[in-house]
Structure 1
Amino acid sequence: MIKVVRGNPTPEELAAALAVVRARAATAAAEPSGAEGPRDAWSDPSRIAAAHLPPPGPASWGRTYWPS
């Protein structure tokens, strides 16, 4: 059930909102249970492992996660 708490939406606005909610529900239902969502590229550990690490030295810790 969807309840409008504030405002006075038109029937077209309600239909658009309901279409979005139904599309998201259909997408969630189509995915197998236990499946991970899409990975964010920033949090992907392989992004760091693929880059060349800086040579050891006093300031190397500061350059570890920065692209060269």
Structure 2
Amino acid sequence: NGATIVSHVWNQPPGQSIGLNLANPARPVFTAPSVNSTTTTTVSFSLIVTDSNGLISAPSSVTITVTPQL
């Protein structure tokens, strides 16, 4: 239909506060939280986009598992 994405809205579940660098909101960057050699943690985000016709997507979610550096 020729529409383009005009906005990206990123959210996190309550209780998480991982800062996103949204210089390019289509490809955000974040610094993973520190973990020790015996732990892992998960970080979750959801994304809603709006196109140039005003259509709004359903939320899409991603969960990232942060593991110790080897």
Q: Give the TM-score of the pair, scaled to structure 1.
A: 0.25
Higher helix content, 1 or 2: 1
Higher strand content, 1 or 2: 2
Q: Give the TM-score of the pair, scaled to structure 2.
A: 0.25
